[in-house]
Structure formats: structure tokens, C-alpha cells
């Protein structure tokens, strides 16, 4: 079974926006929220997604899913917003700066974690344009390079409420 890491999936979903053009956040989201120096104790542990046979390990300073990892303070940062933790990772795509974001929500504290990825599918374009400014960047040959959005906190919550983030998987904590 070919499985994708969460950030790889987030990049793929963001790239599905318009002919494989990624949608990235201009800055880490949500803006103005406190940057956490480590993952809270209640998030740390080993998780398993039984449907996708996928593991997720969260330590004090890292998030590891499949072969993909990010380390707080190096290539990603963690923010808490309402009931969600938001993990922002700098885009690793050459000449396409910005941030990818995934959401997590503890459904059963200490046991179940839901993980959501940003859906940059083409059918979401009207929603994005309705809610916020959409910036398009082009290559020298006039092909679209990337789309950048920079939501306010209110717009970010509207993106969540209007399902711009889709459920990637539900993980059961198997080891603290």
C-alpha cells in the first residue's frame, strides 16, 4: 500500500488547486497567536490510524509521520487556536515560499486525535476569493507558479468552518 505523509499530502492537496499549482499561506496561521515552544503533554505520544495503517509520533519538539518529520523552531512552528493545534511547515518546494498548515484536534483527550489537511482543490477557488484576497504568482514564462493566501484570524476560522481543511485521518493514541 502506497501511503503519503501528512505534509506530502498537504502539499499535494495544495498543488491540486489549479493544474498542480500549490496554495500556500503567506505567513504561519493563525496570525498573532502564540507560538508554542513544544507540543503540549496531552498531544505527545505514539498514534496509529487503523484505517490507513499509518503512524504518527509527537514528541516535545517534533512531529513525525511516515518518512516526513518537522522540528519545532527549525522548519515548523506550532500554534494553538481555539480547540485546534495548527502546525505550520515552511514549503520545501523550490521557488515557492510560503507555509503549509495542518490542523489537529483532540476528540477524546489523551486518546483520539483528528488530523486535517488544507484542501486546495480547484472547486475551492470561489470560496477562497469570497473570503479573502488571493495572490497569484507567475514564472518568467507566464505560467502560474503558486497561489498565496494570508487570512486574518476571522477568515482562518471561516476556512475551517467552511471545510477548507478536510479530515486526513483519526489517530488512536497507543503509547504516551
Q: How many domains does the chain have?
A: 1
**Residue 115 domain flag:** yes
Q: Which of 53, 55, 57, 32 is nearest to 43 (CA)?
A: 57
**Residue 1 domain flag:** no
What is each CA distance from 21 to 17, 27, 121, in whole angstroms? 6, 18, 10
Residue 130 in grid coordinates: 469570497
Containing structural domain, residue 167? 6-175
Identify the H or E element spanning 115.
Answer: strand 112-118
What is the model's pTM?
0.81
Task: Tell me if 122 sits within 8 A of 18, measured CB to CB.
Answer: yes
pLDDT single digits (tens) 121-136? 767 878 888 999 999 8
pLDDT single digits (tens) 82-126? 889 999 998 877 766 888 888 899 887 678 999 998 887 767 878
Amino acid at each position: 500500500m502506497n501511503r503519503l505523509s501528512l505534509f506530502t499530502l498537504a502539499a499535494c492537496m495544495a498543488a491540486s488547486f489549479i493544474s498542480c499549482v500549490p496554495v500556500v499561506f503567506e505567513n504561519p496561521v493563525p496570525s498573532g497567536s502564540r507560538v508554542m515552544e513544544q507540543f503540549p503533554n496531552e498531544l505527545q505520544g505514539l498514534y496509529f490510524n487503523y484505517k490507513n495503517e499509518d503512524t504518527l509520533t509527537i514528541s516535545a519538539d517534533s512531529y513525525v509521520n511516515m518518512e516526513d518529520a518537522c522540528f519545532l523552531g527549525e522548519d515548523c512552528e506550532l500554534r494553538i487556536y481555539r480547540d485546534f493545534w495548527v502546525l505550520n511547515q515552511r514549503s520545501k518546494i523550490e521557488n515557492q515560499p510560503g507555509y503549509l498548515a495542518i490542523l489537529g484536534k483532540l476528540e477524546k483527550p489523551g486518546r483520539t486525535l483528528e488530523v486535517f489537511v488544507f484542501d486546495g482543490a480547484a472547486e475551492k477557488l470561489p470560496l477562497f476569493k469570497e473570503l479573502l484576497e488571493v495572490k497569484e504568482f507567475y514564472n518568467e514564462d507566464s505560467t502560474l507558479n503558486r497561489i498565496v493566501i494570508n487570512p486574518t484570524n476571522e477568515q482562518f476560522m471561516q476556512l475551517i468552518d467552511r471545510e477548507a481543511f478536510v479530515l486526513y485521518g483519526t489517530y488512536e493514541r497507543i503509547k504516551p
